Amino acid sequence: MRMRDTFLKPMHPEGRRFVAIFALATVALFMITPILGWIGVGLTVWCYYFFRDPKRVTPIRDGLIVSPADGIVSLIEQAVPPPELGMADLPLTRVSVFMNVFNCHVNRAPVAGRISAIAYRPGKFFNASLDKASADNERNSLCIDMADGRQIAVVQIAGLVARRIVCFGTQGDAVQTGERFGLIRFGSRLDVYLPDGVAPLVALGQTMVAGETVLADLASHEAARPGRTD
């Protein structure tokens, strides 16, 4: 990898107008005072990195479920999927990945399959790291039907700062594991509802990389993994 590739990442098209707005504001701030201008430069660089869309290497073995988001595993618990998806009203293991404002916010499909349902629901904007955010916050939910007949739910949840959920997929679309399907501005959370009987292979507090970190394995009978913080 070339040195410049370490710092210069591709930017998602969704971010272009925001970077342009920040840049124009920076020019105006320089006309007022250089101090404010340099603050504007810093904010413009942050905006560019917020919308970065780096390439990812996705493991493609059948049965692997990968993380749909960069961030930290903030919750692992039993919960019923969003009712608007029309899935069975049964508790499943829910793994929540919290994204702060410095994480890459491009979301990727955790499994390959077909999107059988997409449902948007307006709501509140609590801190996305809180448990009640899953029920009360604005959200966009997807149900993906896998080739073996099982389903997995992925829910984009707006947070305290986030005010815009973007989903690129539509009902009936086929997706591949690790394929980009959406993003959220500017700090938020992704919930994944695993199929019944599937245990997560990640632990609370673990750092996740969208499209790369293996979240669970449909072919494994391993128990949920504990974690240790050093």
Based on the domain organization, do 119 and 205 belong to the same domain?
yes
Based on the domain organization, do 149 and 187 belong to the same domain?
yes
Examine residue 224 and state whether it is found in any structural domain, yes or no.
no
Examine residue 99 and state whether it is found in any structural domain, yes or no.
yes
- Is residue 192 within 8 A of residue 68, CB to CB? The reply is yes
Examine residue 58 and state whether it is found in any structural domain, yes or no.
no
Q: Is the pLDDT of residue 139 over 50?
A: yes
Examine residue 225 and state whether it is found in any structural domain, yes or no.
no
The Cα 48–Cα 11 span in angstroms is 7
Based on the domain organization, do 45 and 69 belong to the same domain?
no
Based on the domain organization, do 17 and 103 belong to the same domain?
no
Examine residue 227 and state whether it is found in any structural domain, yes or no.
no
Query: How many domains does the chain divide into?
Result: 2
Based on the domain organization, do 17 and 128 belong to the same domain?
no
Sign of CA dihedral 133, 135, 136, 141: positive
Based on the domain organization, do 14 and 93 belong to the same domain?
no
CATH code where residue 139 lies:
2.70.70
At 97, the amino acid letter reads V
Name which of 96-100, 112-116, 175-179, 226-230 the model is least confident about.
226-230
The Cα 118–Cα 207 span in angstroms is 27
String of b and e for 167-206 (b: at least 16 CB within 10 Å)? Answer: bebeeebebebbbbbbbbbbbbbbbbbbbeebebbbeeeb
The Cα 208–Cα 115 span in angstroms is 23
Residue ranges of E strands in the chain? 64-66, 71-79, 92-99, 106-108, 113-121, 139-145, 151-158, 164-167, 174-175, 180-185, 188-193, 207-208, 214-217
Examine residue 59 and state whether it is found in any structural domain, yes or no.
no
Q: Is the pLDDT of residue 1 over 70?
A: no
Q: What is the DSSP string of 28-68?
A: HHHHH-HHHHHHHHHHHHHHHHHTB---------TTEEE-S
Based on the domain organization, do 118 and 24 belong to the same domain?
no
Q: Average pLDDT over the chain, rounded to whole?
A: 86
Q: Assign 71 to helix, strand or coil.
A: strand
Active site residue 188: yes
The Cα 159–Cα 139 span in angstroms is 9
- pLDDT value at position 3? 45
Q: Is the pLDDT of residue 72 over 70?
A: yes
Based on the domain organization, do 210 and 125 belong to the same domain?
yes
Based on the domain organization, do 85 and 10 belong to the same domain?
no
- pLDDT value at position 185? 74
Is residue 187 very low, low, confident or very high in pLDDT (cuts 50, 70, 90)? Answer: low
Examine residue 171 and state whether it is found in any structural domain, yes or no.
yes
Domain span at residue 32 reads 3-51
Task: Please say which residue of 11, 27, 51 terminates a domain.
Answer: 51
What are the C-alpha distances in Å from 12 to residues 6, 9, 129? Answer: 17, 10, 25
The Cα 46–Cα 186 span in angstroms is 11
Based on the domain organization, do 47 and 149 belong to the same domain?
no
pTM of the model: 0.82
Name which of 101-105, 109-113, 129-133, 144-148 the model is least confident about.
129-133
- pLDDT value at position 114? 96
Polymer length in residues for the chain: 230
Based on the domain organization, do 28 and 119 belong to the same domain?
no
Q: Please give the radius of gyration of the chain, using alpha carbons only, rounded to the nearest integer.
A: 18
Q: Which of 53-57, 140-144, 224-228 has the highest mean pLDDT?
A: 140-144
- More confident position, 4 or 83: 83
Examine residue 162 and state whether it is found in any structural domain, yes or no.
yes
Which one from 74, 129, 188, 220 is the annotated catalytic residue? 188
Q: Is the pLDDT of residue 226 over 70?
A: yes
Q: Give the whole-number percent of the chain exceeding pLDDT 70.
A: 87
Based on the domain organization, do 13 and 36 belong to the same domain?
yes
Q: Assign 79 to helix, strand or coil.
A: strand
Range 73-87 average pLDDT = 93
